[in-house]
Amino acid sequence: MNKNILKLALPNILTNLTVPLLGMVDMHLMGYQDSSIFMGAVALGGVVFNFVYWGFAFLRMSISGLAAQAYGRNSNQEMAMMLFRGMFLAISAGVILLLLQKGIITASFTILEGSSQVKELASNYFYVRIWAAPLAISLMVINGWFLGMQNAIYPMIISITINIINILSSFFFVKVLDMKVEGVALGSVIANIAGIILAIVLFLKKYHYILKEFNFKEVLDKVGLFRFLDVSGDIFLRTLCIIIVFTFFTSKSAGASDTILAANSALLQFLFLFSYFLDGFAYAAEALVGKFAGAKNIPQIKRTVKYLFGWGSGFAVVFMIIYGTLGDQLILLFTNQSEVIDTAKQFLPWLIILPLTGFSSFIWDGIFIGTTSSRLMRNTMLLATCVFFILYYSLKTTYNNHALWLAMNVFMLSRGVLQTFFYKHLKVFKNRN
């Protein structure tokens, strides 16, 4: 079982780690400018894209679970429909976002806090990067489908290629052409163009036979589409809760001061690094648990869960040790501004314990997605989100930014605790008879 888990997890870890690495590079490029407002602008602009990209991450998560179950049933037609329906929704969403881009940025900055300088730079960032949205959302669908096919190698190749191109492009535009926030945004656009071309080439190389199953009427079939959207809708609401929490976190950071925004944004890169690492095991859970659920193999599901938690808890301890011993030095990767560095060090202890409070929620997410128990996952997320806001507003007057970090830790912990409680109610256990 460990071999099967690592076969899927390791490529996904390599895939995922390029994502926070890219965020760290962007933060480094902006953190070594002459003002903290550049870090804040990329952070605030990134929040808007959390709505855009995380908002459609439900497509990747729902398609991987459903495709994995179709794979477990050996149904080419079902596998094909999962991909085509996902791509139809992704392309439609991308076009709508491009048409509504001005309204999105206006509404976002009406809600979000932050100085006028930061918002102006964040707008410049947004108007360049938004052109990558249709490509980025389509890539979520394609990578989710590949994972459902038990293929973790193709998403790894695509993601690593995208992020290497993105990093190199961003360095060129910022360091050579002095483009600042527009430079890192343009790097994303170019990288996503390369990524979609590579994804199509890889798909045609191995899965070209799927194309013969294409039937546009079948793609729009109400029963199949509604089943896809039923699972996707629950995952969307779950993802929306995460977006709301992280958006609120960044917005309140911006409202406190440009320095707090820069410091919190730097520390969040550590959280993203850990979360994307653990997501490698969550993706393995989606694929393996989904396959066993499709085959109705309950003993293998339980065995997989046991081994996944062994890996998750082990790496939580490793990350705590790394952040505890090297945290001060890691902050220097993002900025040379002493005020931001000193502020970040004050809140570093909250970051150090986050791997322990958060690891179980990432593992459970993969298990719940693999069994398409999206409603239970949605409900636990709604409850955890309520806990986050109740705790923050109870403590903010006394503890300020510490209240924000405490609420984030409790949010992550409560997700895992609630999912542990609901584990026995997973759909696959109810349907085993």
Distance CA 78, CA 95 (A): 26
- Please check whether residue 84 is in contact with residue 162, taking contact to mean a CB–CB distance below 8 angstroms: no
Which tokens hold the place of 303?
A: 């065995």
Query: Tens digits of per-residue pLDDT, 262-282?
Result: 888 888 888 888 887 888 888
Q: pLDDT at position 40, please?
A: 66
User: Regarding predicted confidence, which is higher, 194 or 125?
Assistant: 194
Query: Tens digits of per-residue pLDDT, 116-133?
Result: 777 777 788 888 888 888
Domain span at residue 119 reads 2-430
Q: pLDDT at position 102, please?
A: 86
Query: Tens digits of per-residue pLDDT, 89-99?
Result: 888 888 888 89
Q: pLDDT at position 164, please?
A: 86
Q: pLDDT at position 433, please?
A: 46
Q: Where are the alpha helices (DSSP H) in 32-172?
A: 37-53, 57-72, 76-99, 101-111, 116-129, 133-148, 153-171
Query: Tens digits of per-residue pLDDT, 133-188?
Result: 888 888 888 888 888 888 878 888 898 888 888 888 888 888 788 777 778 788 88
Q: How confident is the model at residue 349 (pLDDT cuts 50, 70, 90)?
A: very high
Q: pLDDT at position 356, please?
A: 93
Q: How confident is the model at residue 430 (pLDDT cuts 50, 70, 90)?
A: low
Q: pLDDT at position 127, please?
A: 84
DSSP state of 342: H
Q: pLDDT at position 383, please?
A: 94
Q: Which residue, 384, 400, 383, is CA-closest to 392?
A: 400
Query: Tens digits of per-residue pLDDT, 382-406?
Result: 999 999 999 999 998 888 899 999 9
Q: pLDDT at position 79, please?
A: 80
Model-level pTM?
Answer: 0.68
End-to-end CA, the chain: 25
Number of domains composing the chain: 1
